[in-house]
């Protein structure tokens, strides 16, 4: 997998990572675990797509995400906690002050991602520019489309709660 693919893998994984906040303050966190498949397609001058198996453990403020290929090779390990976000792939480790900083470095744009924990739990948390479809969450399927800012992105997850 090339460097761009690893960064896109990190981006896809990070869509599952960032912290959640409500207008009235932090949401009480519950440690959760999910596993399954995810795919991310980003439209643009050169369309980008990525898919991987994933294991997600933790909560929006601290946790771990492991991305693997269909044959079981580890593509990336992501670990996050307050004040840090770490992406490991192979022998390379990249550290960032926050998950948001990592996403911006990987994609060149800030992507609102905190609501994904809520979406996986079946809660409809609104994020400007994103349109989640929670109609199949009970059967382990989630789709969310980012319509703005461009480029348009389509995230699809097939999961089970571990």
Instruction: Indicate the burial class of 115 (C-beta count within 10 angstroms; 0-12, 13-18, 19 or more).
Output: buried
Using an 8 Å Cβ cutoff, are 80 and 95 in contact?
no
What pLDDT does 8 receive? 47
Q: Tens place of pLDDT for every residue, the chain, 162 residues?
A: 544 454 444 444 444 343 333 333 444 567 889 999 988 888 888 888 888 898 988 888 888 888 899 999 998 888 888 888 998 888 899 998 877 676 555 444 445 556 778 899 999 989 888 899 999 999 999 999 989 888 888 989 999 987
- Output DSSP code: residue 139: G
Q: What is the length of the chain?
A: 162
Strands (E), 3-105: 21-22, 25-26, 32-42, 48-58, 63-68, 74-81, 84-89, 92-96
Specify the pLDDT at position 19: 37
Query: pTM of the full predicted structure?
Result: 0.77
């Amino acid at each position: 997998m090339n460097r761009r693919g690893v960064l896109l893998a990190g981006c896809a994984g990070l869509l599952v990572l960032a912290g959640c906040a409500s207008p009235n303050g932090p949401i009480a966190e519950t440690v959760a675990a999910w596993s399954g498949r995810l795919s991310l397609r980003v439209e643009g001058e050169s369309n980008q797509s990525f898919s991987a198996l994933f294991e997600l453990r933790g909560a929006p403020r601290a946790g771990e995400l492991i991305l693997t290929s269909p044959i079981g090779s580890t593509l990336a390990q992501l670990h996050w906690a307050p004040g840090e976000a770490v992406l490991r792939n192979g022998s390379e480790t990249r550290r960032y002050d926050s998950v948001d900083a990592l996403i911006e470095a990987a994609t060149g744009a800030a992507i609102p991602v905190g609501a994904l924990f809520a979406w996986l739990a079946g809660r409809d948390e609104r994020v400007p520019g994103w349109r989640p479809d929670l109609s199949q969450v009970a059967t382990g399927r989630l789709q969310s489309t980012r319509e703005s800012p461009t480029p348009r992105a389509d995230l699809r997850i097939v999961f089970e709660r571990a």
